[in-house]
A and B are shown apart, each in its own frame.
Chain A
Amino acid sequence: MEKRQVTCINCPLGCTLDVEIHSDDSISVTGFQCARGEDYAKKEVLNPTRTITSTVPVLNGDVPMVSVKTSGDIPKKSIKSCMLALKDVVVEAPIYIGDIIVEHICGTDINIVATKEVKKK
């Protein structure tokens, strides 16, 4: 049986979760203060994921950059390639919140979406 400790990142409480991975591959979690904590711990030991935020340059906008985020979690191991995929992306104003900047980033079903509005200059 494997024992691990993870810190839940779902909310600012940051509960310390104790995870036991049993010989039959089942997982038991203790220390969570909400259901999301239990789910997080299981995912974190099996297939850790993260949401990523970044910026993308905007042409003809009232500001030079638009902030973006992944519309959901992506596998932790895909973070680097996700950033590389964003490297040459440029968009044009106007941008509205929620606009899809890149669809299905790095072969996932997650999109990169805008998190702010950029008006035309």
Chain B
Amino acid sequence: MIYKDIVIIGAGPAGLAAALSAYENGATDILILERENYLGGILNQCIHNGFGLHTFKEELTGPEYALRYIQKIEELKIEYRLNTMVIDISNTKKIIAINETDGVIIIQAKAVILAMGCRERPRGALNIPGFRPSGIYSAGTAQKYVNIDGYLPGRNIVILGSGDIGLIMARRLTLEGSHVKMVCEIMPYSGGLKRNIVQCLDDYEIPLKLSHTVTKIHGKERIEGVTIAKVDAAMKTISGTEEYVSCDTLLLSVGLIPENELSRKAGVKINPTTQGPFVSNSLETTIPGIFACGNVLHVHDLVDFVSEEAVLAAKYAIKHIKGIQKNEKSIPVYARDGIRYTVPSSIEVCEVMKMQLIRFRVSNVYENQYISVYFDFERVYHKLKRILTPGEMEQVILPKNWFDKYPAVSSINIAVEGE
């Protein structure tokens, strides 16, 4: 049995930032466990630009962003083990991991930071009818083939899903010589950033078919084509709009799911909306001493926010180790009308320093609506937003003095309001 103060599961952007923050907050006994052969996680395959505008005030590619952290980790000689898969965590923070050099490793941690990231929704989960041929990939897996392994997954490609991953891959595959025929998106709007529509689709004249989905896969051995069709406002196929598109590859960018199998094993309570753990504002899960940050907590759009969240999680993990007593008062945060979820889902007032950040996503597209925050029935925040979409994470910042002004507050409610 090995004893460690802090064990961080995952060395992607969340894990790396958490490790550095732990060190900077005085921890000396840190161990990062990473299942890949390298540090940096998903950033290694995100070879495109767009990372670090907030954190480093410059635009970096994914690997460059990761390297900023990796270099510091190496310099500071923070301990990490690669090719190491965590296979169990108990609610007492006992971790079981395995790798090819050490075999089974058992670690008793004082604090655990969950930073395992997320996985992609597969074709099977959508149950697109047809045979089960080869040539169907989730966008991230295709990205791994192209960017890490150097292989092309196909020649003539249809992409389902216009979130950023789908758009980025449309450009990536085109640059490498494949022919991307179209990107289909079931919603009437794209889930990705406008800049990506321009530089990934418009630049290469790749059509974006909004309100369209793939209704059938053709081909028994290798995919030969797809049937696409228009959908109505209720996302039901409009009969008569079916169109056959020949292709040898289908890329699916149809949703990311936080990977919380280990969290569930530890007994951490999972929010069914986010599929990530419920956390307080100290990013602590329902199991004391187990913290969560990054995509495992909720799927982020910007890596900079992942790093911010990780820095905070580590800070509180150190506090936990130091045994700093906490005031038990915890105020639940509720996602009301139009709000899909909030992180955190509860606030411990004693942990609020100068202000409290609450991140959230809306459930629909809203134009010229207000984000309102209520302390019980008292509206304390009411801001007009020109546009709100589910694809972009939003935030509200509550100053500490509001908590002082309402010491007896028993619930914080966030909602979208018309006026």
A interface list, Cβ under 8 A from B = 6-12, 14, 16, 50-55, 57, 62-65, 67-69, 76, 79, 83, 97, 115-117
Q: Which residue of the partner chain, among B67, B146, B193, contacts A55 with CB atoms under 8 Å?
A: B146
Contacts of A54 in B (CB 8 A): 47, 175-176
Judge whether B147 and A63 touch: CB under 8 Å.
no
Judge whether A57 and B195 touch: CB under 8 Å.
no
| Interface flag for B128 (CB, 8 Å) | no
Judge whether A115 and B64 touch: CB under 8 Å.
yes
A97 to B68 CA separation, bound complex (whole angstroms): 11
Within 8 A of A (CB), among B130-184: 146-150, 175-177
Judge whether B195 and A117 touch: CB under 8 Å.
no
| Interface flag for B63 (CB, 8 Å) | yes
| Interface flag for B220 (CB, 8 Å) | no
Judge whether A65 and B61 touch: CB under 8 Å.
no
Judge whether B175 and A52 touch: CB under 8 Å.
yes
Judge whether A9 and B53 touch: CB under 8 Å.
no
Across the interface, name the chain B residue whose C-beta is closest to A80: B175
Judge whether B150 and A115 touch: CB under 8 Å.
no
Judge whether B67 and A116 touch: CB under 8 Å.
yes
A16 to B59 CA separation, bound complex (whole angstroms): 20
Q: Which residue of the partner chain, among A10, A63, A83, contacts B148 with CB atoms under 8 Å?
A: A63
How close is B49's CB to chain A, nearest CB, in angstroms?
6
Judge whether B47 and A53 touch: CB under 8 Å.
yes
Judge whether A79 and B199 touch: CB under 8 Å.
no
Within 8 A of A (CB), among B52-73: 53, 59, 61-64, 66-67
Contacts of B102 in A (CB 8 A): none
Contacts of A116 in B (CB 8 A): 44, 63-64, 66-67
| Interface flag for B362 (CB, 8 Å) | no
| Interface flag for B37 (CB, 8 Å) | yes
How close is B73's CB to chain A, nearest CB, in angstroms?
13
How close is A23's CB to chain B, nearest CB, in angstroms?
27
A117 to B176 CA separation, bound complex (whole angstroms): 22
Judge whether A69 and B61 touch: CB under 8 Å.
yes
Judge whether B48 and A53 touch: CB under 8 Å.
yes
Q: Mark B193-204, 1 if CB is under 8 A from A, else 0.
A: 111011100010
A62 to B61 CA separation, bound complex (whole angstroms): 20
How close is B210's CB to chain A, nearest CB, in angstroms?
16
| Interface flag for B302 (CB, 8 Å) | yes
Within 8 A of A (CB), among B323-376: none
| Interface flag for B390 (CB, 8 Å) | no
| Interface flag for B381 (CB, 8 Å) | no
Judge whether B203 and A12 touch: CB under 8 Å.
no
A10 to B199 CA separation, bound complex (whole angstroms): 11
A117 to B67 CA separation, bound complex (whole angstroms): 8
A110 to B64 CA separation, bound complex (whole angstroms): 19
How close is A29's CB to chain B, nearest CB, in angstroms?
16
A67 to B147 CA separation, bound complex (whole angstroms): 7
Contacts of A76 in B (CB 8 A): 203
Judge whether B47 and A50 touch: CB under 8 Å.
no
Judge whether B38 and A62 touch: CB under 8 Å.
yes
How close is A32's CB to chain B, nearest CB, in angstroms?
14
Pick 10 A–B contacts, CB within 8 A, sort by A.
Answer: A7-B198, A8-B195, A12-B193, A14-B195, A51-B49, A55-B47, A63-B37, A65-B149, A79-B175, A79-B203
Contacts of B59 in A (CB 8 A): 11
Most buried by B among A8, A55, A64: A55
How close is A74's CB to chain B, nearest CB, in angstroms?
13
Given contacts A65-B149, A65-B150, 15 further A-B contacts (CB under 8 A): A7-B194, A7-B198, A9-B195, A9-B198, A14-B195, A51-B49, A53-B47, A54-B175, A54-B176, A64-B150, A83-B177, A97-B64, A115-B64, A116-B66, A116-B67
Across the interface, name the chain B residue whose C-beta is closest to A9: B195
Which 4 residue pairs spanning A and B have beta carbons closest together? Answer: A14-B194, A116-B63, A67-B47, A9-B195
Contacts of B149 in A (CB 8 A): 64-65
Q: Which residue of the partner chain, among A10, A52, A62, contacts B37 with CB atoms under 8 Å?
A: A62
Judge whether B150 and A67 touch: CB under 8 Å.
no
Contacts of B148 in A (CB 8 A): 63-65
A57 to B152 CA separation, bound complex (whole angstroms): 13
Contacts of B194 in A (CB 8 A): 7, 14, 16
Q: A51-B49, A97-B67 are in contact. Are A83 and B175 (CB under 8 A)?
A: yes
Most buried by A among B47, B48, B59, B64: B47
How close is A55's CB to chain B, nearest CB, in angstroms?
6
